[in-house]
Amino acid sequence: MWGYYVALALRSSARSKALTALVIVLLAFGVSACMVSYAVFRATTSDPIPSRSAHLYVPQIDNVGPSRTWQGQPPNMLSYTDAVALWQAHKARRQTLLYPTKWQVQSDNRSVPAMSKTGDAVTADFFPMFDVPFRFGSGWAANDDAQHANVAVISRRLNEKLFSGRNSVGQEIRLDGKVFRIAGVLDDWNPKPRFYDIGNLSVGDAFDDAGDIYIPFTRASDMKKNSRYANCPTATGNADTTDWNAYLYSECDRIGAWVELATPADVKRYRDYLHNYAGQQQRLGRFSWPPNVRLRNLMDWMAYLRVTPKASSLSMLVSASFLLIVLVNVVGLMLARFMRRAPEVGIRRALGASRAAVYRQFLIEGATVGVIGGVLGVVLTLLGIWGSGTLFEPKIARLVHVDASLIMLTVLLAIAATVASALYPTWRAAQTQPAWQIKINS
Amino acid sequence: MALTRTFMQLRPVVVALGRHKVATALIVLQVALTLAVASNALFIVATRIVHMSRATGTDEAHLFVIRNKWTIGQNTSRIDANIRTDLDALRHVEGVRDASSSNAAPLLYAYSVSPIPTRVKLVPDQTTRPQFAMLSFADAHTIDTLGVSLVAGRNFRPDEVAAIGPDDKQAAPVVIVTRSLADKLFPGSSALGKTIYLPDGPSTIIGILARLQGPLSWTRSSDGDNVLIPARHVDPQGVMYLVRTDSTAMKPVIAATLKALQERGSVRIIDPKDDVITLYQARERIYASDRSVTILMSIVCGLLLSATAGGIVGLSSFWVGQRRKQIGIRRSLGATRGDILCYFHAENLLIVGGGIALGIVLAILTNLGLMKAFYPMSRMPLYVPFLGALLLWLLGQLAVWGPARHAAKVPPVVAIRAE
């Protein structure tokens, strides 16, 4: 029976070629515009670390007061005072402080000139927390943090440059003129977005490549390494770094913090702890406002900071509305197509076809058109993604890829969309009164 | 005459539409949605194009920027000496017209060594929110290097240029501001000779620039608000060299400048790939996302309008097919071909009109929603959806033209022929 309905659908499509072609082309364009945008959107909003993201949280503490916060939200970064307090309290299973910064790199290899490289000042937990893969060696021990040790972890890329890719663990490099021992070399690791740093960077830098050098947070502070950005509650918002110690313990927000919390109970406990901490600071007179703290999960944090590029979310929005308009259009065209066949329905009904049979026939007809639209849609989607390289910035376009699920989704969306838009026209067709329809046609 | 005839025909048109409530409603809905989406999309395209095509006020075609980082362990006086020597060397390179040093470069906020946002007060103890501006270090060569023009006052003199490090708290006695900033600080009067208060103290405005876009490129109205102070940026982090060339063929000049700087290569780090950029490349890079928004929106708009036109053609053809008998009867009762044409055009005008009325409301609501979700999105002026409405009306009339002509060709004899 199903095969017969499909054959009927094809035959009726052949009879009204122009109308069918119009429906198929509209569908294909609507669906493929949606899927191309979705492919980009998916690439820019996807979970950068699926294995861990559910347990990673960002604590925020308002240390500048309601007059300096935006919409009552605590600043994105912590002050050094608060960051170190949270870290030393050790209330989570793992925790790290971090900030992006820049180093001048030299090695004993004289043939490699001094380079300026970026990276992060982090703590020992950074590597296990974010599941950072190592090629050689490992991260440093918690003890190294406490001792402000001269240890470093470098990227595979930098290792290629300095040591031609050999195992360089135990070797020495000079960062800003100071000698550091290499504890580990990372394997390829370039999460997109660079999620661990997004609170410390501007939104436009969220899709930049990961840095090349990681050293202990405590050591970086000793070396007076400033963060890339600092928000200070001064008139200009700029930092005054003349007196490093005064700057360090000022209310300038410049440190990012992450905690790993395994269970909802842990999350609740940590949230309470943050609240208590801010309350304690209020009692001490440092904050003259009630506790204003947040604890956001990684995915919420990305959504809150609006990491997704504007071009990507706008195109998703516009292509979704395009598909909606196409569907309204298709409903109208399907209605025209089915109503034209009222005599045929009348005869089928008179010969004993039930309403359900009419429903089945027309919905299958809708689905058949949907499949054809979907196949054309896949072709257009592939073309669109191929062309998206010239539409989006290279660092975004590079993330976009086609996979089986995208192609499946394209076809499914096309079928679902056509069947949905065939529902009302089918209902109208099924309402055909057999007797009346036959009478007026005779 | 034709108008009154059309008008007379409207009543039967409306009555006939009442028989096709759903199909009519579908077209109305489609036109409304199309208008809402298309007018917003075209508005975004237009604002982005205006945003991207703003001139920086500089001689962009002949400018390039070198981000020069200093090697560790040089004190401020060494760095100051380096900058002086470098500038002298740069100005003597073949093909270089002029060069100067600064903390930041036009369009290149994130790329610059240290862009400095600042606040400008009119009195030292001002209680109202001070005016925002970007601070740039400049010397006597900066105006010629950038190719900006001074509309009032004078340039810095070489003896006014001091070395200022990141921790120095000295006020610049004289400053040059851009006209857009001057107009914001002193609306209606000349800013020349007036005193302004930067965070480190008072300064006298000695010159006003016609236009100069600073390192910012994304704000709604502050990109052109800049203060130039006469200073060399002696910061251990580095310095930006701005170089203006004689010809637009910059490649050989860039190579020659890098070679000149490399003669004293041990004091600096310059990655020839990452640390040299022309203003043309800067513009490409900075506005890449605006460009992609513009192209995407245009493509989808085009598709959208074609889809709507296609839909109108499809449904109108169907209606014409359905009404062949009715048309035949009207023709045999004396209606001319023109009357039939008119009928379908009038019908389309009415339906699209209904869609437009709904669509303008939707368009404005959409704009308000977008303003909340995306910065910087401005309020859409009312004429935009009205222009869109006009476009859709035209589109509707064009789309119905084919089917209407088809209808007009129906011979009167159809009336008595059984189909």
The whole-angstrom distance between A18's CA and the closest CA on chain B is 8
pLDDT higher than 80, residue B19:
no
The pair of structure tokens assigned to B377 is 């999105």
| Nearest-5° Cα angle at A378, A45 to B38 | 65
Give the separation between CA B13 and CA A400, rounded to whole angstroms: 51
pLDDT at A123: 96
pLDDT at B193: 93
Contact of A154 with A132, CB cutoff 8 Å: no
In this predicted model, what pLDDT tens digit does every residue of B299-324 receive, in sequence order? 888 999 999 998 888 888 888 888 88
In this predicted model, what pLDDT tens digit does every residue of A140-180 receive, in sequence order? 999 999 999 999 999 999 999 999 999 999 999 999 989 99
pLDDT at A3: 83
Structure confidence at residue B170 as a pLDDT band (50, 70, 90): confident
Residue of A nearest to B315 (CA): A333
Comparing A45-49, A140-144, B17-21, B26-30, which segment has the lowest mean pLDDT? B17-21
Among the ranges A388-392, B237-241, B293-297, B311-315, which has the highest mean pLDDT value? Answer: B237-241
- CA A153 vs CA A137, A141, B71, B328: distances in Å: 9, 12, 22, 86
B160 alpha carbon, distance to own chain's centre: 37
Q: B303, A33: Cβ pair inside 8 Å?
A: yes
Query: CB-CB: which of B130, B292, B311 is closest to A332?
Result: B311
pLDDT at B211: 94
Nearest 10 degrees: CA dihedral of A390, A393, A394, A399?
-100
A-B CB pairs within 8 A amount to 142
* % of chain B exceeding 90 in pLDDT: 56
| pTM for this entry | 0.83
Contact status of A310 with chain B (Cβ, < 8 Å): yes
Partners of residue B227 on adjacent β-strands: B135, B177
The residue type of B4 is: T
* % of chain B exceeding 70 in pLDDT: 97
pLDDT at B418: 58
Structure confidence at residue B208 as a pLDDT band (50, 70, 90): very high
Q: Which of A:35-94 have CB within 8 Å of B?
A: none
Among the ranges A348-357, A431-440, B63-72, B121-130, which has the highest mean pLDDT value? Answer: B63-72
In this predicted model, what pLDDT tens digit does every residue of B373-389 receive, in sequence order? 876 678 889 899 999 99
Q: What does residue A211 show for φ and ψ, rounded to 5 degrees?
A: -75, 180
Q: How many CB atoms lie within 10 A of CB B361?
A: 14
Structure confidence at residue A315 as a pLDDT band (50, 70, 90): confident
Structure confidence at residue A312 as a pLDDT band (50, 70, 90): confident
From chain B, the residues in CB contact with A240 under 8 A are 167
Which of A116, A243, A421 should one mutate to test binding to chain B, selecting the residue with the greatest count of B CBs within 10 A? A116
In this predicted model, what pLDDT tens digit does every residue of B319-368 receive, in sequence order? 888 888 888 888 888 888 888 888 889 889 999 999 999 999 999 999 99
In this predicted model, what pLDDT tens digit does every residue of A25-51 receive, in sequence order? 999 999 999 999 999 888 888 899 999
pLDDT at B6: 58
pLDDT higher than 60, residue A432:
yes
In this predicted model, what pLDDT tens digit does every residue of A398-418 receive, in sequence order? 888 888 999 999 999 999 999
pLDDT at B373: 80
Contact status of A399 with chain B (Cβ, < 8 Å): no
| Nearest-5° Cα angle at A381, A373 to A206 | 145
Comparing B3-17, B202-216, B296-310, B404-418, which segment has the lowest mean pLDDT? B3-17
pLDDT higher than 70, residue A255:
yes
Give the separation between CA A302 and CA A195, rounded to whole angstroms: 7
Q: A325, B296: Cβ pair inside 8 Å?
A: no
- Pure H helices in B216-278: 251-262
Maximum alpha-carbon separation in chain B: 104
Give the separation between CA A247 and CA A242, rounded to whole angstroms: 8
pLDDT higher than 70, residue B419:
no
Structure confidence at residue B127 as a pLDDT band (50, 70, 90): confident
pLDDT at B23: 82
The pair of structure tokens assigned to B376 is 């910087």
In this predicted model, what pLDDT tens digit does every residue of A61-104 receive, in sequence order? 999 988 888 888 999 999 999 999 999 999 999 999 999 998 99
The whole-angstrom distance between B407's CA and the closest CA on chain A is 17
Q: B314, A321: Cβ pair inside 8 Å?
A: no
Report the relative pairing of strands B195-198 and A213-216 from DSSP bridges: unpaired
pLDDT at B3: 63
pLDDT higher than 90, residue B139:
yes
Give the separation between CA B68 and CA B87, rounded to whole angstroms: 12
Structure confidence at residue B1 as a pLDDT band (50, 70, 90): low
pLDDT at B353: 92
pLDDT higher than 80, residue B60:
yes
pLDDT at B13: 76
DSSP class of residue B121? B
In this predicted model, what pLDDT tens digit does every residue of B212-253 receive, in sequence order? 999 999 887 889 999 999 999 999 889 999 999 999 999 999
Comparing A369-383, B269-283, B361-375, which segment has the lowest mean pLDDT? B361-375
- Using DSSP's 3-state secondary structure scheme, residue B69 falls into strand
Give the separation between CA A278 and CA A286, rounded to whole angstroms: 9
Give the separation between CA A130 and CA A124, rounded to whole angstroms: 11
Average pLDDT (B65-85) is 92
Partners of residue A115 on adjacent β-strands: A105
Average pLDDT (B165-186) is 90
Give the separation between CA B384 and CA B37, rounded to whole angstroms: 12
Structure confidence at residue B5 as a pLDDT band (50, 70, 90): low
Q: What does residue A151 show for φ and ψ, rounded to 5 degrees?
A: -120, 155
The whole-angstrom distance between B336's CA and the closest CA on chain A is 27
The whole-angstrom distance between B371's CA and the closest CA on chain A is 12
Q: Which residue has the higher pLDDT, B205 or A15?
A: B205
pLDDT at A185: 96
Comparing A18-22, A298-302, B38-42, which segment has the lowest mean pLDDT? A18-22
In this predicted model, what pLDDT tens digit does every residue of A113-137 receive, in sequence order? 888 899 999 999 999 999 999 999 9
pLDDT at A349: 86
From chain B, the residues in CB contact with A328 under 8 A are 26, 29-30, 33, 311
pLDDT at B157: 95
- CA A390 vs CA A380, A398, B289: distances in Å: 16, 11, 11
pLDDT at A15: 79
Q: B318, A18: Cβ pair inside 8 Å?
A: no
The whole-angstrom distance between B130's CA and the closest CA on chain A is 9
Average pLDDT (B118-136) is 90
Sequence-distant (6+) residues with CB within 8 A of B363 are B35, B36, B39, B40, B380, B384, B385, B388
Q: A391, B23: Cβ pair inside 8 Å?
A: no
Average pLDDT (A264-290) is 94
Residue of A nearest to B129 (CA): A235
pLDDT higher than 90, residue B168:
no
